Every structure is written in structure tokens, then in C-alpha cells.
């Protein structure tokens, strides 16, 4: 059996993987920078918490509604994002994060500064699920996100996103409905963040506005960028490494923002594609090694 | 007969600056029309307005009799208008094949997409050799082939070519014009915008001269090529 502490860490990392994968849809594949991903995690967490504690719905309906509501709000909030690009988009999404956090913080319905408590772990056949069971659920959701990622990147949607990311105007001239595909990216990415938020709320059993602040958005974005934006493996590895770092090293916990910031600076300078990006050092060396070994085999 | 494309009193401005000042022209099926003019005369602006990448200040654009003046670019692409933009604008990180597949975005049947890729590889065998390479690794000439091949993927009714010879070495310029001429012979309708007036007039059926946003001369390409004013201003005397 895994120790309780280890399971807790693994669940946290797992939730970050879901968040990183969902942000990767928006920022990695569709190329729309978002500095407000934690807002949609928060919308999912609060939706789930409110349906669970106030409406008396069970875990499963609350969980699914969290994804649905976050996806819908992501679609609506994508509209002001459509007219802006790059740095203006970054500021717009940042603004969305502040507005959403302030809404949770100042409106009593959302528990204001006190947050919402009493959100339990889900029950199976009347019995509260064990932490290991919850970890299995998180892993299942990660599996679904990976399947969605694979399906999207191999379909026309992935190709259309790539075109929009590289040259929006050329994409339009090729018949791609740029608006529709941008909205789709925000909708799917936000829905993923909403599901992660729900898992987060039911695991912590207590949520506060500060959990979904701009700083949290930066943590998620750091994970995506660190691992390798626009790839499947990148955000997963980024979430594992940056998620485990504060647990492994106390100083890294205390100076978390500083460590992440430094890592990002170094990365942007030396490996802008992330440690596992398509053209980064590690994958290239790995491919070279593979070719060398293959040649060695056929040579004998 | 309704023209394939009809442009009436088109005016396009960038802020205060009028780049195109009320021009009218039309293209009929099977035409190879060229608009020649100096740098900054408004040629590219005209093409971009026809594609829907710029919003005209006034005037009308009709395609097969339907007004498309306010329609976004992606809907015009679906009607069969395709632009090969200046500077080629191929997608740098996507492979040659992915670039071609994206060109066929409006083609509904997967079988037709595969046929289109085959056609592109027959037209430009170099692209077949480079099928899996990223667009940015191609040479300038190969990128130009890819840009044209990509536009042809959907078998457009109207092909808009913006300065396709720009920045190519002379032998490639000749090849590119030969390709355009071949496409025209096979029935394509083409609007060609060029600074290289000599080559453009040599292959075109009809021509317009654009000067600081206004059309100053029009006629058959042969007549314009023989016109003393055109000779002096654009053909080097």
C-alpha cells in the first residue's frame, strides 16, 4: 500500500496534470495564450461545491456539472478574447482571472473570504471512497484527457488549430472558421479545468478564492511551458516535475514562485520549447541515440 | 453572362490613407487577368480585399452574381476563392503534407484530399521528396511551389496570386510563370498581381494598370504590352 502522504502528493500532481493538459489545448495547440486558467478551475470547484453542499446533489452529477459550467463560461468568456491577440489576449485572460477570483471573494453566495467547506470525497455504495480509490479516479480522468488529446491532434480540429496558431490570416484564407476553432479550444480547455477544479474541491473538502488566483494560473502555465508546450508529454512531465519539486525540497516550497520564475527564465533563454519540446535537447539526443543503436544493430 | 468576379467602385483605406480609390474590374471564367503597377500602387490591397482579409470602405464585390463584400475570408474560401499571399505564408512548423491537407480544408471527401495531394505531387515532384519535412526547411522556390499547390488543393474557381515571383531567382521566376500559364491552359481562372510586368503581360489574357490606387489603363495583355506609356513606365522603355 502507498502511504497516505504519497497518495496525497500523487493526487495533487494528478490534478495538475489535468490542468496542464487542458491549458495545453488552448495555449499549446490553438496558440491562444491564457494567463487565467485557474479561473476555470475555480469555476469548476465552486460549481461542484455549491451543487454538492447546497443543492444536495451527489459527487458524480456535481463533477459533471463542474465540467459543463466551466466549459460554458469558457465559451462565453472566449468572446472578448476573440478580438485580441498575443499580449492583449494575455492581459484579457489575466483580467478574467481577477474578476472571477473577486466574484468568489466578495459575493456571500460563494462563501466570500471564508470559502466553502464540507465538500466530501465521493461515496461508492454508501461508503466514502479511500484516498487510493480517489487517486484511481484522478488517473482515469487523466487517461480520458490523454485520449481526447490524441483524438484532437489527429483530427482536422488539431490541424485547424495548428494553422490558426501559426498564421491566423492564412488559416482564414484556407477556409478555416478561425472564430469557431478558437471558441472550441477555450470551451474544451475550460471544461477540462472545471473537472480538475471539482476533483480538487472534493479532495481538499474546503476551497477558498485564493486557491484559484492568478498565481495558480502561473503555476499551471509554468508546468506547460517547462515540459514542452504543444506536445502531449510536455505538460504531463512539467506537472510531475514542478508538482513534486515543493514536496521533495522544503526550500523549493518556501521559494516556490522564485524557483518557478528562475526555471522559466532559464528555459526561455536556453530551451524555449521546454525540456521535452519537439526540437529541444533531450528529445533530439534521444532520437540520435535510437538511430545510433539501430545502425549498430543492422551493422552487425 | 455573369462575370465570375465583379468589383465595383472598390475603395480601401488604411486610416486616412486611401490605398485603393474606387476601382472597378471584372474577371470571366477562364481569364488570366493581371494587375500590374509599381510598389505601393494598391495591388496587394485589392487582392486582400477580394479574399476578405481587408474590409473595403465602400464599393461592392460580387462573386458569381452574389454579393460577398461583407463576407469573412473563410466563407469566401468555401465559395472557391483562393489566395496565394505575398511572401507565401506557408505554415512553418507543419510538414509539406500537412500544409497541403490544410489547403483541402474545404474539401469534404477524404478520397478527394488524397487525390489532391497526388495531383500536387505530380505538378511539383520536389514536394513529394519533401513531403515529411517542415515547411520552414524548404528553399524559397520550394515554398512558392507549396504555396501554389496548397491553394490548388481545393480546385478553386478563382485563384488570386500575389507577387508570386518576388524574391525568387530568375530561373525559378520563369518556372513559376510557366506553371501559371499551364494552370490557365487547363482551365483555371487566375487573377495575377505582379511587379514583374513583362512576364505578367506575356502570359495574361487581359490586364489593368494600377497607379496610386486608381486604374489608369486596361485592355488585352497584348495591347498593353505594346502601349508606349506602359513600355516606358513598366517594361523599361
B97-117 tens-digit pLDDT: 999 999 998 887 888 899 999
Residue A163 forms contact with B (CB below 8 Å): yes
Chain A residues near residue B78 by CB distance under 8 angstroms = 175
Is the minimum CB–CB distance between B94 and chain A shorter than 8 Å?
yes
Q: What is the DSSP string of B120-143?
A: HHHH-HHHHHTTTSBGGGS-HHHH
A156 to chain B: which residues are within 8 Å by CB?
Answer: 105
Q: How far is CA B103 from CA A153, A172, A251, B106, B155, in A?
A: 17, 11, 52, 8, 10
Following DSSP, what letter does each residue of chain B receive, concatenated?
A: ---SEEEEEEEEEETTEEEEEEEEEEE-TT-EEEEE--TTSSHHHHHHHHHTSS--SEEEEEETTEE-TT--HHHHHHHTEEEE-TT----TTSBHHHHHHHHTTT---HHHHHHHHHHHHHH-HHHHHTTTSBGGGS-HHHHHHHHHHHHHTT--SEEEEESTTTT--HHHHHHHHHHHHHHHHTT--EEEEES-HHHHHHH-SEEEEEETTEEEEEEEHHHHHH-HHHHHHHS--
Per-residue pLDDT of B25-83, as tens digits, reads 999 999 999 999 988 899 999 999 999 999 999 999 999 999 999 999 999 999 999 99
Determine the average pLDDT of the residues in B175-202: 93
The answer to whether the beta carbons of residues B22 and B10 sit under 8 Å apart is yes
Q: What is the rounded average pLDDT for all residues in chain A?
A: 89
- Domain boundary assignment for chain B: 1-80+156-237, 90-155
Cα of B105 to nearest chain A Cα, Å = 7
Domain CATH code at residue A227: 1.10.3470
Write out pLDDT tens, residues A106-119: 988 888 878 888 88
> What is the tens place of the pLDDT at every residue in B139-181?
988 999 999 999 999 999 999 999 988 888 888 899 999 999 9
Structural domain of A228: 4-299
Query: Which of A112-116, A243-247, A263-267, B196-200 has the highest mean predicted lDDT (pLDDT)?
Result: B196-200
Q: What pTM was estimated for this model as a whole?
A: 0.86
Q: Is residue B156 less than 8 Å (CB to CB) from chain A?
A: no
Looking at the domain B1-80+156-237, which fold is it?
A: Rossmann fold (3.40.50)
- Check B102 against A178: CB less than 8 A apart: no
Contact B74 A170 (CB under 8 A): no
Residue B164 Cα, gap to closest chain A Cα (Å) = 16
The total number of structural domains in chain A stands at: 1
Predicted local distance difference test score (pLDDT) of residue A117: 84
Query: Grid coordinates 526555471 are at which residue?
Result: A263
Put simply, the answer to whether B93 touches A175 (Cβ < 8 Å) is: no
Question: Which comes out higher in pLDDT, residue B132 or B110?
Answer: B132
pLDDT band at B203 (very low <50, low <70, confident <90, very high): very high
User: Can you give the pLDDT at residue A298?
Assistant: 64
Q: Do B106 and A175 touch (CB under 8 A)?
A: yes
The reply to whether residue A169 touches residue B102, judged by beta carbons under 8 angstroms, is no
> Pick from B52, B72, B102: which is nearest to A174 by CB?
B102
- Residue-wise pLDDT for A15-34, tens only, equals 999 999 999 999 999 999 89
Beta-carbon contacts of B140 under 8 Å, excluding residues fewer than 6 positions away, are B167, B168, B172
pLDDT tens readout for residues A204-249: 989 999 999 999 999 999 999 988 889 999 999 999 999 988 888 7
The residue-averaged pLDDT of A93-102 equals 91
Amino acid at each position: 500500500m502507498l502511504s497516505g502522504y504519497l497518495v496525497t502528493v500523487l493526487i495533487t500532481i494528478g490534478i495538475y496534470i489535468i490542468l496542464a493538459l487542458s491549458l495545453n489545448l488552448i495555449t499549446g495547440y490553438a496558440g491562444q495564450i491564457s494567463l487565467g486558467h485557474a479561473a476555470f478551475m475555480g469555476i469548476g470547484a465552486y460549481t461542484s461545491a455549491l451543487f454538492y453542499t447546497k443543492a444536495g446533489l451527489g459527487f458524480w452529477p456535481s463533477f459533471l456539472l463542474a465540467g459543463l459550467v466551466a466549459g460554458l463560461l469558457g465559451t462565453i468568456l472566449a468572446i472578448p478574447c476573440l478580438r485580441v491577440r498575443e499580449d492583449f489576449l494575455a492581459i484579457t485572460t489575466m483580467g478574467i482571472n481577477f474578476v472571477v477570483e473577486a466574484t468568489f471573494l466578495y459575493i456571500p453566495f460563494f462563501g466570500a473570504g471564508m470559502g466553502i467547506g464540507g465538500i466530501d470525497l465521493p461515496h461508492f455504495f454508501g461508503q466514502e471512497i479511500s484516498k487510493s480509490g480517489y487517486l484511481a479516479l484522478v488517473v482515469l480522468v487523466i487517461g480520458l484527457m490523454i485520449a481526447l488529446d490524441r483524438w484532437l491532434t489527429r483530427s482536422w480540429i488539431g490541424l485547424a488549430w495548428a494553422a490558426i496558431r501559426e498564421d491566423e490570416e492564412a488559416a482564414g484564407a484556407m477556409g478555416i472558421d478561425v472564430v469557431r476553432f478558437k471558441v472550441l479550444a477555450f470551451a474544451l480547455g475550460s471544461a477540462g479545468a472545471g473537472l480538475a477544479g471539482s476533483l480538487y474541491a472534493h479532495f481538499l473538502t474546503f476551497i477558498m478564492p485564493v486557491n484559484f488566483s492568478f498565481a495558480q494560473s502561473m503555476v499551471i502555465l509554468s508546468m506547460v511551458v517547462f515540459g514542452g508546450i504543444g506536445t502531449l508529454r510536455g505538460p504531463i512531465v512539467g506537472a510531475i516535475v514542478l508538482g513534486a519539486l515543493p514536496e521533495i525540497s522544503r526550500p523549493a516550497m518556501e521559494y516556490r514562485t522564485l524557483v518557478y520564475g528562475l526555471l522559466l527564465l532559464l528555459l526561455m533563454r536556453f530551451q524555449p520549447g521546454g525540456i521535452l519540446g519537439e526540437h529541444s535537447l533531450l528529445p533530439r539526443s534521444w532520437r540520435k541515440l535510437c538511430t545510433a543503436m539501430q545502425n549498430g544493430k543492422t551493422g552487425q | 453572362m455573369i462575370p465570375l468576379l465583379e468589383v465595383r467602385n472598390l475603395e480601401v483605406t488604411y486610416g486616412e490613407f486611401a490605398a485603393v480609390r474606387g476601382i472597378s474590374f471584372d474577371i470571366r471564367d477562364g481569364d488570366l487577368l493581371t494587375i500590374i503597377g509599381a510598389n505601393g500602387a494598391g495591388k496587394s490591397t485589392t487582392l486582400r480585399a477580394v479574399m476578405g482579409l481587408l474590409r473595403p470602405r465602400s464599393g461592392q464585390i460580387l462573386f458569381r452574381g452574389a454579393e460577398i463584400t461583407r463576407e469573412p475570408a473563410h466563407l469566401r474560401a468555401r465559395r472557391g476563392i483562393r489566395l496565394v499571399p505575398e511572401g507565401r505564408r506557408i505554415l512553418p512548423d507543419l510538414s509539406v503534407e500537412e500544409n497541403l491537407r490544410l489547403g483541402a480544408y474545404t474539401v469534404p471527401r477524404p478520397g478527394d484530399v488524397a487525390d489532391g495531394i497526388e495531383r500536387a505531387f505530380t505538378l511539383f515532384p520536389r514536394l513529394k521528396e519533401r513531403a515529411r519535412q517542415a515547411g520552414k526547411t524548404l528553399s524559397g522556390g520550394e515554398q512558392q511551389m507549396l504555396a501554389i499547390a496548397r491553394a490548388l488543393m481545393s480546385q478553386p474557381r478563382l485563384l488570386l496570386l500575389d507577387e508570386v515571383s518576388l524574391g525568387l531567382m530568375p530561373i525559378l521566376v520563369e518556372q513559376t510563370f510557366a506553371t501559371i500559364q499551364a494552370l490557365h491552359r487547363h482551365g483555371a481562372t487566375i487573377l495575377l498581381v505582379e511587379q514583374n510586368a513583362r512576364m505578367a503581360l506575356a502570359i495574361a489574357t487581359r490586364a489593368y494598370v494600377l497607379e496610386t490606387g486608381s486604374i489608369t489603363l486596361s485592355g488585352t495583355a497584348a495591347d498593353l504590352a505594346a502601349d508606349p506609356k506602359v513600355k516606358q513606365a513598366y517594361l523599361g522603355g
